[in-house]
Structure formats: structure tokens, C-alpha cells
Structure 1
Amino acid sequence: MRMTFRWFGEGNDPVPLAYIKQIPGTEGIVWSLHDIAAGEEWPIERILEVRSQADAAGLHIDVVESVNIHEDIKLGLPSRDQYIENYKNTIRKLGSVGVKVICYNFMPVFDWLRTNLYEELEDGSTALYLEKAKVMNLSPHELVAYFQSNSTFQLPGWEPERLGQLSTTLEAYQAVDEEQLWSNLAYFLEAIIPVAAESGIKMAIHPDDPPYPLFGLPRIITSQQNLRRFLKIVDHPSNGITLCSGSLGANADNDIVSMIHEFSDRIPFAHIRNIRLAENGDFIETSHRTEDGTVNIAGIVKAYYDIGFTGYARPDHGRHIWGEQCRPGYGLYDRGLGIMHLWGLWDGYRYADKGSL
């Protein structure tokens, strides 16, 4: 397991690279060019700038999250071909500087959804929270207004330029059901996976968050069965999964340990985080300890250890603790604690195997 830490860039992330380097066992950043609009080709000079910053801190840039997909590709519009060409050119550039994994998603309109960015937990910390009934009752426009008024940070997946055309985009999706979305995804994969393979890159799709339809929009990367279908579209090692335990854990029927074993050779990137899921579908993000949530983090790390996982991992979201002023879900302190908990589990399994415990 190769540990990484998501970083949003100089001037856009209050966590300095020097602090990330001090987290034991953390070797690289998970990064993106967040100001580049979906569909645009990434400039090589901007890519090299991030590599230079990471190199200076002694960190690698092997994992990108995300190269966002233009909505016209998801909608299957004629204009998608030019956006796919731009995407392929970006893949080639990233491969040329040593990037190994590109995480992306195929969620229509909204990358992820929560109803409170700072829900208080019993210990006084706060965390991302979703009240399912509220999501079902709010209009998309009301939810957007909430996010824009409750965060001082730009939120990935909720960029103003993407949400500015919300009404038009939602209307366009009225003609797209699940099967059409599958077809549009297949068209995209068949175009980009050969380029990724030639560039030495593994594409890793992120599950939908949460893993069920919202606002009448289809969602398809939601379950073990659907991940199986996804991998068969282009059955190639460069077509893989970002296995996110938190996103998939929002459906109690998902057996993440089973997924790790079944898809062991197609998981180049793992997001490992915990949530506490209520019977009514509400959930709040917690510490990474198994006991604090409903996701079997200890079993998940054991599964990765058992398959000999050598891919990249990151602790994903954290709570907001110790008064830290940070991006919602992306502070230094709790994600640093999360990394140490994951390494503690991993080392426990490793030393037990060696007979040292």
C-alpha cells in the first residue's frame, strides 16, 4: 500500500506540502488543476509547475484526482468528440510527467452531495453529513444555494462555472436514463483506455456519492454488480476502480471486503474512510476507526493486506478537529490521524504474519 494525501494546490489549500511530508509513510500528493474547466485540455506548463512543487517537498505526483469529464460526454451529445480529444491529450501529457493513476467519476451534474458540511459529532468535532430525506425534498437549486452560502472554500465538483448552467443541464438529462448513461460511458471508455494504456496510466473510476439516484438523475457506479459490469466494458488493466469505502458504504447492502477480493487486480487507487449510516439512510463521516462508524475499516485494510495491495491509497475525508480552519472534509489533523490508524492496522497484520506479535 502506497500512502498519499489529497492536496488542492498552493494558494488553494491551507495545508502546506511540508506538513504532508511529515505524516509518516506518506509519499505523494493526490492533485488536480482545479481551475481548469471540465472539457479543457490541461496546459503542460501548469502540470510541470505542480510537479516542481511536489519534487521540492520530496513528494510524488503519481495520482491525479480528478480530470473532470464534460457533461456533453455524459449526455452523449455530438460535441463530446472534441471534449474526448482534449481528455486524451491531457492523459498523454500526464503520462509524460510520470502520472500513474487518474481518478475520475461519471456522476451527472453533481459529483457528491451532503446537506451539512459541519454537522457536530458527540465529541464536539464536526464532519460532512447527509440527511437523506432533506436531499429528497430539496430542489437542486436550493441545494446549490446552501453549498454556496456555507463554505468559504471552493468545493470540488461544485465549481461556480459548472453550476451556472444548472437548469439547462438538468433539462438535458431528461432524455438520459441509466442504460443511456451506460452507453455514453462505454463510448468514453472505448476512446480513452487505449490512450491511457499507451501512456502508462490506469484510469480509476470513483463510485457515485451517495450511491443511488437523486433529483431524477441516473447513477450507475453504485454496487458490486455494477462495478463488475463496468470492468467488462473495456476489459483491460488500464480500466480500473477507485474503491471508495465511504461512498459505497452509504448503501448497507454493499460488501466492500468482497469487492476488494473480487476486483483485486483492477483497484489502482483506494479511498479508505468511515461513515456512520443510520437505518433511514442518513449518514455522517466519522474517524477512521471501525468502532466509530458502520464501515468495517479493519476488515477492509485486512482485505487489502491479504491481496498484497501495492496500489495507492489515501485516508479521504476527515473530521474538523482541534479548531482547524480547513476545507470541509480536508483538514490536516484528522486525515493525518486517519493515515496513522490505517498504517497501524496494516503493520499489525504484517507483524502478525511474521510472528512478531
Structure 2
Amino acid sequence: MEQTFRWFGPDDVVRLPHIRQAGATGIVTALHHIPYGVVWSINEIEKRKRLIADAGLGLEWRVVESLPVHEAIKSGDGDLDPLFANYRQSLRNLAHCGITTVCYNFMPVLDWTRTELSAPLPGGASALRFNAHEYAAFDCFMLERTGAEREHTPEILARATAWFDASSESARSRLLANIMAGLPGAYERYDVPGLKAALARYHGIGKAELRQNFMRFLAAVIPTAEEVGINMCVHPDDPPRPLFGLPRIISNAEDIALILDAASSRSNGFTLCSGSLGAGADNDVPAIAGRFAERIHFAHLRNVAKESDGSFMEADHLGGDTDMVAVVTILLREQKRRLEEGRRDWRIPMRPDHGHELLDDVGKLTHPGYPMIGRLKGLAELRGVMMAVAALERLPL
């Protein structure tokens, strides 16, 4: 697999030389400064490519993460033809510049969601964490969403009430900031009234309606992606459950099958995120990887440790509940199949997703979940698994 690293651009605290030192050869990035729905011009794409190439480190921009889907497309609101046209033009421009793997998501309003960004680990390290009772406290007592109490168990509601009653204004503000932190590309952070307004735009939109809007998006863009040789790869929901009354439509194997069947083109693929899917109590990540291996165009490899109440913690890359050796083995076997098929793009780009805050990264202003050292550690561990599996099974790396 091609070893890549996410980079948030020239303002990222993590620098390109750091990424090269980690042993990665591919860069995963996006033009975050361009507003959603606006065309990514060839000039802007080439500017970012030159920035990476001019570092002289042998790094290449290999994956776009993300080419964002405008919120109006997700909600199905208004005349969407101009937005579809702009998205198609961005795909054409990316293909013109030689970038042919595009990761995106269809999560309404929020991206990945955690309630704690610095959950303590032994020795002073920290991890991202989702606490079910803090999420319920925010949902029921800060958002004051109608009917929210019915969506939480009595046990979680009791803990949520206790947390809220004991919390200070600063603790509540921190919880809001933590929930907003999963929007690294948008840089748009809501306050509580703003989040309420954003959620209101989805009033009356359930899972069926959101799925219908997604199918409309696929019908509008996949033919162009196929025409120009772009592999689109949708990212699973994180966490794979409804949030704040918003439906989620890419949370399990059934959801993925429906999406891939909606457009049988190879250009309609998905990103295997072992952590996002792994947070679902009923998701068997190796089984999902094996079932849909032919349509995996990109892999986020990370792990989570789940708890019975729906809480979970970001674990070590080779720890947690998902058998990472099994996942890597499936991906390497799929690479071999593609190579034997004669495909030039037989290698699957992967990146170590999220990482613990360790050592000198503690306290640095890195993007939440994306400290350098924790991801370097994860990549080294995953590289070891890849090399061992490849040697044992005589599989190409």
C-alpha cells in the first residue's frame, strides 16, 4: 500500500519535512481556503502541487481529502444544478492535474464528532474520546432539542443530568468547542444558536430523504468522474449513528452496499475507515473490507475501543477492537488481485488516521486527532504489519 499522510496545507503545524521523516511518500490534502461549492481552479490545484514538489522531498499529492459536498446538496435545498456543475468542473480540473483519488463525505452539518479531545492516557499522553453521557448532556440540555431525551437510555440520561448540573460555563463551552473540532476543512464553528439553525435546515429530512439526496449527487457526478478517470471514495459516518436528530446513511455494510449498487461504476467507491466503522457495535470491519474490497480506493487505518453504553476511545493503531492485521491482509490481497488484473493503479493509498498526542506534541496547536508523533508511531506499526504480511503471503507492497 502507498503510505500517505494527511497535511492541512501551509498553515499546518506539521511540516512536509516531518512527513517525509515519518517515511510517507504521498500527501493527502485539500484546498481548505476555497469555500464549499466553488470550483477548484487548475491554477489553485497546481499551486498546491508545486508547494509540495518544491519542498524537494519526493512527496506527491496523491489523494484529495476532501472535495467537500455543499450543504445544500445534502439537504436537497434549492437549485442544485450550479453546485453540481461546479463539482464536476473541480473533478475535471483535478484529473487534468493528475490527481485521481477524491475522498469526500455526506455527513450533514457535522463531520467526525468527539466530546473529549485530550482524554488522559498513562504517562501524560492523550486521545480523542466520545463520551455518551456528555453527548447526551449537550443534546438534551445545551441544544435543548425537542424529543432528544427519548433517544438516550435512562442510565445515560441520569449521568448526563449529573454532568450538566455539576458543569461550569467553561466546561460547557469546552464541550461545544470539542464537538465543533471535527470540522478541520470547513473552519466554520457554530455556537449553540448557530448549530440549532443549521440543524433546522434538516427538519423533515430522515434517512430515506438524505439517501435520496445522495443518490442524486452520485447521478450528477459519477459519470464525469468515470469520464476523466477519477476514483470517488465516500467516507463512512463518524461515529456511525444518528447525531442531534440528523440521519446517517453510511454507517454499516448495508448502507455501503446500497451506495455502491446505486452506481456500478468503479469510480463510485468508498474509503475504508477502520476507526469510523469500528465505532459501530455491530460492524465487523474485516468482513466489510473483504466484502467491498474491489471498491476500496483509499484506507484510513486507526482503531477504537468501544464501551457498552456507546462511548469509545481512540486506541493504539494495533490495539482496540478491530483486528488490524486482518484488515491489512485483505487490502494487500486486493492489491495483488488488481496487479494481476493489469491495473496501473493497483496500489491502495493508506494513511494512519488520527493519533495519540505524545511526547513533544503535547500542547502543540495541531489539528485535533492529527499530532505528528502519534501518527508517525501509527504508521511505523502499520508498516511493520504490512511488511510481515507481505513476506508471509508473498504479496506485493
Q: Normalization by structure 2: what TM-score?
A: 0.83
Any residues of structure 2 matched to 1:238-249 within 5 Å, and which? 238-249=267-278
Q: Contact between 1:231 and 1:240, CA under 8 Å: does it hold in 2?
A: yes
Q: CA deviation at 1:157?
A: 5.3
Choose the corresponding residue for 2:246, options 212, 217, 231.
Answer: 217
Choose the corresponding residue for 2:184, options 156, 176, 179.
Answer: 156
Partner of 1:299: 326
How many pairs does the alignment contain?
351
CA separation of 1:55/1:187 partners in 2, compared to 1, >3 Å: closer, same or farther?
same
CA separation of 1:81/1:111 partners in 2, compared to 1, >3 Å: closer, same or farther?
same
Q: CA deviation at 1:306?
A: 2.6
Any residues of structure 2 matched to 1:168-317 within 5 Å, and which? 168-290=197-319, 293-308=320-335, 310-317=347-354
Partner of 1:109: 109
Deviations 1:333-356 (A, max 9, x none): 11111111111111111222359x
Q: For the residues of structure 2 that align with 1:81 and 1:161, how far apart are their CA atoms?
A: 27
Aligned-residue sequence identity (percent) comes to: 38
Larger gyration radius, structure 1 or structure 2: 2
Choose the corresponding residue for 2:40, options 35, 38, 42.
Answer: 42
SS at match of 2:77: coil
- The residue type paired with residue 36 of structure 2 is A
SS at match of 1:304: helix
Say what the alpha-carbon RMSD is for the aligned residues. 2.3
Q: CA deviation at 1:302?
A: 1.7
SS at match of 1:247: helix
Q: Contact between 2:2 and 2:348, CA under 8 Å: does it hold in 1?
A: yes
Q: CA deviation at 1:150?
A: 5.9
Choose the corresponding residue for 2:372, options 329, 332, 338.
Answer: 332
Q: CA deviation at 1:145?
A: 4.7
- The residue type paired with residue 358 of structure 2 is I
Q: CA deviation at 1:141?
A: 10
Q: CA deviation at 1:151?
A: 10
Residues 1:17 and 2:16 are matched in the alignment:
yes
SS at match of 1:308: helix
Q: For the residues of structure 1 that align with 2:65 and 2:355, how far apart are their CA atoms?
A: 17
Partner of 2:8: 8
- The residue type paired with residue 25 of structure 2 is E
Q: CA deviation at 1:154?
A: 9.0
Residues 1:122 and 2:122 are matched in the alignment:
yes
Q: CA deviation at 1:162?
A: 7.2
Q: CA deviation at 1:2?
A: 0.9
Q: CA deviation at 1:137?
A: 2.8
Gaps of 5+ in 1: none
Q: Normalization by structure 1: what TM-score?
A: 0.92
SS at match of 2:305: strand
Q: CA deviation at 1:253?
A: 1.1
SS at match of 1:271: strand
CA separation of 1:60/1:234 partners in 2, compared to 1, >3 Å: closer, same or farther?
same
Q: Contact between 1:111 and 1:158, CA under 8 Å: does it hold in 2?
A: no
Partner of 2:49: 51
Partner of 1:60: 60
SS at match of 1:314: strand
Deviations 1:284-338 (A, max 9, x none): 1122123xx1121122112212323621110010000003112211111111111
Q: Contact between 2:8 and 2:29, CA under 8 Å: does it hold in 1?
A: yes
Deviations 1:86-143 (A, max 9, x none): 1111111111111111100001111111001111123421111100222123139958
Q: Contact between 2:2 and 2:25, CA under 8 Å: does it hold in 1?
A: yes
Deviations 1:245-268 (A, max 9, x none): 000011121111111111111000
CA separation of 1:150/1:204 partners in 2, compared to 1, >3 Å: closer, same or farther?
closer
Q: CA deviation at 1:147?
A: 6.0
Any residues of structure 2 matched to 1:75-86 within 5 Å, and which? 75-86=75-86
Q: Contact between 1:111 and 1:157, CA under 8 Å: does it hold in 2?
A: no
Q: For the residues of structure 2 that align with 1:44 and 1:148, how far apart are their CA atoms?
A: 37
CA separation of 1:185/1:140 partners in 2, compared to 1, >3 Å: closer, same or farther?
farther
- The residue type paired with residue 130 of structure 1 is F
Q: CA deviation at 1:43?
A: 3.0
Deviations 1:57-105 (A, max 9, x none): 3211120000111111011122322111111111111111111111000
SS at match of 1:82: helix
